[in-house]
Amino acid sequence: MHREDRPWGTFEVLSDEPSHKVKRLEVRPQGRLSYQRHLHRSEHWFVVGGRGRVTIDGTPVEVGPGTAVDIPAGAAHRVENTGHEMLVFVEVQHGTSFDEDDIERLEDDYGRVAQP
């Protein structure tokens, strides 16, 4: 398994196959991922611990353990931890590309938005 630290927390790759990728993500309290979109993959998130907010195309949804969220390819999305403990979820990616270069960051708290 492959684990990476990010400014918002960590992720671990559980499975990386030609047809899909599965990750386990932990978002620190008050941390949030970039508001981003992917052109070549959809994602399914299943929350297993903590509390947070998922925003898809500008619409926020509160999430907690047992909540599932589907993010279609091309949809702008972000997750943020609104609680006091780690927000933990499993992400299943499905599509034709799972590379980091399929991330278009629209907003980012950590200065990672590509400038035109």
pLDDT tens-digit readout, 31-69: 999 999 999 999 999 999 999 999 999 999 999 999 999
pLDDT tens-digit readout, 67-110: 999 999 999 999 999 999 999 999 999 999 998 889 999 999 98
| Distance, CA of 50 to CA of 52 (rounded, Å) | 7
Q: In the numeric block, which tokens belong to residue 25?
A: 């993500």
Residue among 2, 51, 1 at smallest CA distance from 29: 51
CB 81 within 8 A of CB 50: yes
> Going by C-beta distance under 8 Å and a sequence separation of 6 or more, which residues neighbour residue 20?
92, 93, 94, 98
Q: What is the predicted pLDDT for the residue at 11?
A: 97
Q: What is the predicted pLDDT for the residue at 116?
A: 54
Topology (CATH level 3) of domain 2-106: Jelly Rolls (2.60.120)
How much of the chain is helix, strand and coil, in % rounded to 5? Answer: 5, 60, 40
pLDDT tens-digit readout, 61-70: 999 999 999 9
Domain limits, the chain: 2-106
